[in-house]
Structure 1
Amino acid sequence: MMGETKAVPLEQAELSLVLGAKNAGALEKAFGYTTVGQFLWHFPRRYVDVGELTPIAELPFDEHVTVVAQVTNVSQRQMHSRRGFIFEVTVSDELDRNGQELKMTFFNGYQARQDLQVGTIAMFSGKVGWYQDHLQLSQPDYAILDTVAEADPRPIPIYPASAKMPNKKIRDLLSLLIDEMTEEQLPEFLPEQLLAKHRYPRRAKAYLDRHHPREIKHAYIARQRFAFEEAFMLQLSLAERNRAVGSQPAIARKPVKGKLAEKFDSRLPFTLTDDQIEVGREISADLLNAHPMHRLLQGEVGSGKTVVALRAILQVIDSGGQAALLAPTEVLAAQHYSSIKKMLGDLAEPGLFGEGEGTGVALLTGSAKTAQRRQALLGIASGETGLIIGTHALLGEHVRFAELGLVVIDEQHRFGVEQRDALRAKGEENVPHTLVMTATPIPRTVAMTVFGDLDTSTIKKLPAGRAPISTHIVPMQLTGYRDRLFSRIREEVAKGHQVYVVCPRISETAAEQGILVATAEDGANQTMSVEAMFELLSSMPSFDGVRLEALHSQLDSQDKQEIMDEFADGQIDVLVSTTVIEVGVDVHNATLMVIMDAERFGISQLHQLRGRVGRGGLPGTCLLTTWLDADHQSVNRLRTIESTLDGFELAEADLAERKEGNILGVQQSGSRSTLRELSIIKDRGLIESARDDVQELMKQGAWATKYPELFAVAESWIDQSTREFLNKN
């Protein structure tokens, strides 16, 4: 049967041709695999080393042990305190003539009940505990063995398994492939010098060591090789994509003396930071090229990214082009429109297009009235409007540009790939330059892995006038702290300042009606809603005369904008809101941010919210409230926020907490690009090494001709859905 697969590489062969239709069907049902390559990449999650075996008679209490034993008795009983059952297994030591016995328990052990029948020999691994005057293993890992001899001498791989595809079945099926793991069937494609440089095994040997290692150390070396392979192929794909983008045509946008950009710089009421000047130079230099700029601009909340982007926009307008600024929400789009108009002053009053007397700045959102929308569209089409700011409404088919030269995308993670690509496509014959901005710091490994094809600029230093923000955790289960929280809000208003109060949701359920402030005894798990907090503050005598308002996503666009305008104008003292104010809202008189049930938010989100205060030279304060006990794991996240204002340090902590998930963002497509061995948390050095290796490869030129095997794999390594993702990202 194996001979039938010689026409194609083993990894591409259909499982049914190699393992038979029945086994192939079971693997497809359990894991979705249809090819040998997919099954070979079903790597063990860990190994049990037979050198770790301990006789049952010598088991040490409270330590992790591994034993080989035979099942002598099984029983099942219902749990008393909760639903479910306990499956109990008694085993006899197979490596000890005295046949010492040991009990094991499995809570709701459906799989164990199926696998562990009387007479079954298995390797068990777990922590030794004490129950009813005897030692036991609770919820141990196990691997079914055919014989005791199977445990000697190689480590036993423990695979991700399912009820109908247990570990032993996986090992048995993989054993059918092991003899075929030859250089001929699994040809190497990584350049030989890379394997030698990093001391990685060749591909066939790596598969063998991963699934059937002689020693555990060999398995982990093989794991490194496959993780490097993924990192290298991804970096190569990004590098090729970057090269392809660089070959597309774009109009060079040269600075023009005496026009808008120079006038704007001469009127700036503040001095740009060194970071802003340096990043501005990088972007300006990119715009001089006849191929499209593709740059990521990241910086802390309030670091001055908008003014840097505006200087680039004016350089493009001066050269006869137009710019579009795409924002994720109408609130943020309106905020950009207002702040940019204010920064430009009379430079935002259009004269004759191209004469340098000023340029039109327009706002286009989904809620725009017909007349406003028509006027904006005419200005864009005629070229009188040099800068159009808007939401997804900019993507509409009726939006036509006279000459789109620059696309600025704010908070890029809020947009789908198709939306970003649709706006760039409006450049028609010439691809517009693209500047992607984010106030969410991106860990270096993520930037290299996801945005490896983007040139990255970073603004780290905050402009002068940005006051420090102090952050404190407020334990709400303590009455004194609860009372002080409301006093603190009132005191800030009395000083003439403004306050944000952010809640994790809009309203409470019917069952929670009336629960406005929880106590440690009842309702401590209830989360505070915008409606409940607004009602609570409105009912408190100490807040008489305080101008309160609520803001959330269920309000219509006009109401939301009116509320934000009133808050910005100082007509509202306390704004109770959801995270709709997370990005871009800029109110200089706001000095206090209160975040209710702060543990409900992620690290990066809390950092973004905190950045809404202290923006006008006045010291800012952020209060993180929680009902959780001080030793609760989620409170550690709040302590991380409390301890530092460094967004990049927090981004690393956020990544470690969330895990990386599918960093390419295409998991729902079933794509091959879901990274299976590579971890952007654990493999930072490996990713950097792969990127350096790819850069060296690209310098050689004509690498595809020099390494045809690598080129062939690079062409097929990512499927079409992922190729489209990388092309549009």
Structure 2
Amino acid sequence: MPATNAKPAAKAAAKQAPKSIESKLAKLGLRTDMDLVLHLPMRYEDETQIVPIREASLRGGHVSQVEGVVTKNEIAYKPRRQLLVTIADETSDIQLRFMNFYGSQVKQLAEGTRVRARSEVRHGFFGAEMVHPVYKIVNEGAPLPNALTPVYPAGEGLSQTILRRAIADAMKRVDWTDTVPRAVREKLNLAEFQPAVRLLHYPPPDVDEHALTERSHPAWTRVKFDELLAQQLSLKRAQQARREKGAPVLGAVGALSASFLEALPFKLTNAQQRVVEEIRRDLREDYPMQRLLQGDVGSGKTVVAALAAAQAIDSGYQAALMAPTEILAEQHFRKIAAWMEPLGVKVAWLTGSLKKKEKTAASEMTESGEAQLVIGTHALIQDTVQFAKLGLVLVDEQHRFGVGQRLTLRNKGSDGLVPHQLMMSATPIPRTLAMTYYADLEVSVIDELPPGRTPIVTRAIDQNRRDEVIERVHAAAQEGRQAYWVCPLIEESEALQLQTATETYETLAQALPDLVVGLVHGRMKPAEKQVIMDAFSAGEVHVLVATTVIEVGVDVPNASLMVIEHAERFGLSQLHQLRGRVGRGSAASVCLLLYQSPLGPVAKQRLMTMRETTDGFEIARRDLEIRGPGEFLGARQSGQAMLRFANLETDQWIVEQARDVAAWLLESDRPEAEAIVDAHLQRWLGGREEFLKV
């Protein structure tokens, strides 16, 4: 199958296109003819009919296109400088109002000129008007378009006229060969590629306009399918490429693994046992494991990761655990070292804040192989840190690391072997998102909480009732319980008018003189933070005022009350993570969401979701509805083109079709299958496919 035409898009802008247009098109990612052809309209304007001015005036609030002759043209100065142009037809007249205008427009819209204008009709002081309408000068009887007019996403200095011309020229040059086999198109009832794309650029007059704007038209379905197929093919190919690389075989589940399980003061849940087995199977293979471990807050991912590390150590290799923040890395270090060191495992601790002498010692232990498990932050990926025999990489809260950071750690293997990788996320990823963006990963889910965890009651409370909340905190402390009070900012910001951590700390310390109030935030030195955290863990601090540094990893079973200040400013997954800091002991736990009225619709949705459910997967599903996929993916999306046309909420059925077709094409032994895959990926991703392979 021929490769897709990839001539420079600049040539399509115009014959002898100026360099400036070429660079402006490139900024939009439009570098080839096919890029232009796949730059589809974001909406359409109906310029196919003229409405008499009287009729347009009667249906105010709607967008209408009118045509008339200029009867009046004046520059007014009240309330501000503006150009007022009146046009009239045989039925009535209407005023065109321009707040910003050029001298050339005043001349262009001279009396006696025939104008065709399109905009929403409003009723002002002087009757019907259009404010800043789209207009053009026409001759009487000038023909109307016979199709809807496409409106394209445009960058600075790129007019719709330039884009339309560039796209029309590109369509004459591209190779329209259909990259989806006929058998697939017929089975899935898909439109052919060329007619579908042409219809989207030039919709005929009889098109179903609703289906077009809602993107449910068969032409849109074909485009969405192709886009999703390209993504699935690319990710699956990346997975195949990884399987061709060698990895250390970590086959031993020996004395350390057995002793570790025996020493645990609790039994693994069924879900944890199932996931441990999935990981153990992967580690026995001679190609790199690439597994995403997801589980709700408190489901016990750390112990599963520690068991994976034990298997690597039993097999004679080192394991490394990287966490995004020092406070989280230290939580892991304390917990895992307490499990592992009594069993004879040497655990090293490596972060950026260590003194030079300590850092050098930890690096030397790592390089010599004396340290069997190394835990730390992104300090692990520095050039100066070398591993003797790295077999397993564990990455916590993986979405908070950049693609390059994760690759650097994976590249620290020895003897040309790639270490196995287990990525962990406490933000459950909705199934559709996992299928689409994590098609190259195996996914394990811990879908069960350990026994004895108490349900958390969540309440949303107006800021006006702060005194009641402070009293609630006092009552909890008198019962021997502890509380978190979380604030979104450290310093005062007049623009946001938020209560700050430092101010809240002072307020609470004053309001609760008989209690010990602590403060932690991101700008404190790690040692200072740890002193406060240790005192809180020991029960010496009753109320911990904090920024979101305590979002993940903090485990204090005696803390049963969580207050989140300005909860309307947090995302759903963050609120869920913060709420997960309580409910870790046997006492009934409460999360109070303090909000500032009035609430916007999105904030209302978030707070309602938090009140209605504590199920992380349901929260993730609703969060995807509210925010879209971008923020879920975090830094994984670095360099990765987000879906432009498919919608993961409404198009799940297309995702499933694309996934199945991708698997069929890649597993096919038909000689033309590889050429089909190459052509489809070239058309949709061009040179960008490499970004998806990380």
Task: Return the match for 2:153 from 140, 154, 160.
Answer: 160
SS, match of residue 335 in structure 1: helix
Which of the pair has the greater relative contact order for Cα pairs under 8 Å at 6+ separation?
A: 2
Question: Counterparts of 1:521-670 in structure 2 under 5 Å?
Answer: 526-540=497-511, 543-629=512-598, 633-661=602-630
| Equivalent pair of 1:673/1:719 in contact (CA under 8 Å) | no
SS, match of residue 36 in structure 2: helix
SS, match of residue 540 in structure 2: coil
Aligned to 1:124: 118
Distance in 2 (alpha carbons) for counterparts of 1:360 and 1:43: 57
Distance in 1 (alpha carbons) for counterparts of 2:530 and 2:426: 22
Distance in 1 (alpha carbons) for counterparts of 2:262 and 2:159: 72
Task: Return the match for 1:20 from 15, 18, 26.
Answer: 15
Aligned to 1:45: 42
Matched, 1:454 2:441: yes
Q: How much has 1:447 moved relative to structure 2?
A: 1.8
Distance 1:506 1:192, change over 3 A: same
| Equivalent pair of 2:247/2:288 in contact (CA under 8 Å) | yes
Unaligned runs of 5+ in 2: none
| Equivalent pair of 2:318/2:392 in contact (CA under 8 Å) | yes
Given the two structures, how large is their TM-score scaled by the length of structure 2?
A: 0.88
Matched, 1:101 2:99: no
Residues 636-660 of structure 1: CA deviation (Å, up to 9, x unaligned):
3222222221222222332333334
Distance in 1 (alpha carbons) for counterparts of 2:600 and 2:3: 57
Aligned to 1:706: 673
| Equivalent pair of 2:665/2:677 in contact (CA under 8 Å) | no
Question: Counterparts of 1:62-81 in structure 2 under 5 Å?
Answer: 64-70=62-68, 72=70, 80=79
Distance in 1 (alpha carbons) for counterparts of 2:250 and 2:413: 14
Could you tell which deviates more after superposition, 380-389 or 137-146?
137-146
Aligned to 2:207: 216
Aligned to 1:444: 431
SS, match of residue 427 in structure 1: coil
For residue 222 of structure 1, what is the amino acid of its counterpart? A
Aligned to 2:380: 394
Distance in 1 (alpha carbons) for counterparts of 2:489 and 2:285: 47
Residues 398-433 of structure 1: CA deviation (Å, up to 9, x unaligned):
333232111110000111112111111111222111
SS, match of residue 531 in structure 1: helix
Q: How much has 1:661 moved relative to structure 2?
A: 4.4
Question: Counterparts of 1:301-380 in structure 2 under 5 Å?
Answer: 301-342=297-338, 344=339, 347-349=340-342, 358-380=344-366
Residues 584-636 of structure 1: CA deviation (Å, up to 9, x unaligned):
11111111111111122111111111111111222221111122225665333
Distance 1:31 1:404, change over 3 A: closer
SS, match of residue 609 in structure 2: helix
Distance in 2 (alpha carbons) for counterparts of 1:120 and 1:369: 78
For residue 291 of structure 1, what is the amino acid of its counterpart? Y
| Equivalent pair of 1:71/1:89 in contact (CA under 8 Å) | no
Task: Return the match for 2:188 from 179, 183, 198.
Answer: 198
Aligned-pair identity (%): 37
| Equivalent pair of 1:503/1:595 in contact (CA under 8 Å) | yes
Aligned to 2:419: 432
For residue 196 of structure 1, what is the amino acid of its counterpart? E
Distance in 1 (alpha carbons) for counterparts of 2:263 and 2:141: 83
| Equivalent pair of 2:228/2:646 in contact (CA under 8 Å) | yes
Q: How much has 1:202 moved relative to structure 2?
A: 3.0
| Equivalent pair of 1:143/1:156 in contact (CA under 8 Å) | no
Distance in 1 (alpha carbons) for counterparts of 2:107 and 2:480: 70
Distance 1:10 1:725, change over 3 A: closer
Distance in 1 (alpha carbons) for counterparts of 2:106 and 2:624: 38
Distance in 1 (alpha carbons) for counterparts of 2:488 and 2:631: 25
Given the two structures, how large is their TM-score scaled by the length of structure 1?
A: 0.84
Aligned to 2:691: 725
Distance in 2 (alpha carbons) for counterparts of 1:234 and 1:111: 50
Matched, 1:493 2:477: yes
Residues 17-52 of structure 1: CA deviation (Å, up to 9, x unaligned):
672234674364367344333332332211234678
Distance in 2 (alpha carbons) for counterparts of 1:474 and 1:197: 54
Q: How much has 1:465 moved relative to structure 2?
A: 1.6
| Equivalent pair of 2:602/2:626 in contact (CA under 8 Å) | no
| Equivalent pair of 1:54/1:65 in contact (CA under 8 Å) | no
Distance in 2 (alpha carbons) for counterparts of 1:86 and 1:443: 51
Q: How much has 1:138 moved relative to structure 2?
A: 5.8
Distance 1:30 1:407, change over 3 A: closer
Residues 101-144 of structure 1: CA deviation (Å, up to 9, x unaligned):
33455666899979994646446253x54433744556767788
| Equivalent pair of 1:499/1:592 in contact (CA under 8 Å) | yes
Matched, 1:239 2:241: no
Question: Counterparts of 1:253-264 in structure 2 under 5 Å?
Answer: 253-257=250-254, 259-264=255-260
Residues 77-116 of structure 1: CA deviation (Å, up to 9, x unaligned):
5675xxx7666554446xxxx3433345566689997999
Distance in 1 (alpha carbons) for counterparts of 2:675 and 2:18: 35
Distance 1:672 1:557, change over 3 A: closer
Q: How much has 1:325 moved relative to structure 2?
A: 0.8
Q: How much has 1:706 moved relative to structure 2?
A: 3.1
Distance 1:306 1:61, change over 3 A: same
Distance in 1 (alpha carbons) for counterparts of 2:164 and 2:19: 14
SS, match of residue 372 in structure 2: strand
SS, match of residue 385 in structure 1: coil
Distance 1:664 1:624, change over 3 A: closer
Distance in 2 (alpha carbons) for counterparts of 1:465 and 1:165: 61
Distance in 2 (alpha carbons) for counterparts of 1:414 and 1:133: 56
For residue 180 of structure 2, what is the amino acid of its counterpart? L
Distance 1:339 1:185, change over 3 A: closer
For residue 456 of structure 2, what is the amino acid of its counterpart? I
Matched, 1:418 2:386: no
Q: How much has 1:363 moved relative to structure 2?
A: 1.8
For residue 560 of structure 2, what is the amino acid of its counterpart? T
| Equivalent pair of 1:660/1:679 in contact (CA under 8 Å) | no
Q: How much has 1:707 moved relative to structure 2?
A: 4.8
Could you tell which deviates more after superposition, 400-409 or 429-438?
400-409
Residues 326-379 of structure 1: CA deviation (Å, up to 9, x unaligned):
11111111111111233x2xx5236xxxxxxx3222222222244543443344
Could you tell which deviates more after superposition, 306-315 or 267-276?
267-276
Unaligned runs of 5+ in 1: 1-6, 351-357, 513-522
| Equivalent pair of 1:594/1:622 in contact (CA under 8 Å) | yes
SS, match of residue 411 in structure 2: helix
Q: How much has 1:571 moved relative to structure 2?
A: 1.7
| Equivalent pair of 2:67/2:115 in contact (CA under 8 Å) | yes
| Equivalent pair of 1:252/1:289 in contact (CA under 8 Å) | yes
Paired residues in the alignment total 679
Aligned to 1:293: 289
Distance in 1 (alpha carbons) for counterparts of 2:128 and 2:147: 28
Aligned to 1:230: 227
SS, match of residue 349 in structure 1: helix
| Equivalent pair of 1:256/1:319 in contact (CA under 8 Å) | yes
For residue 403 of structure 1, what is the amino acid of its counterpart? K
Distance in 1 (alpha carbons) for counterparts of 2:14 and 2:544: 64
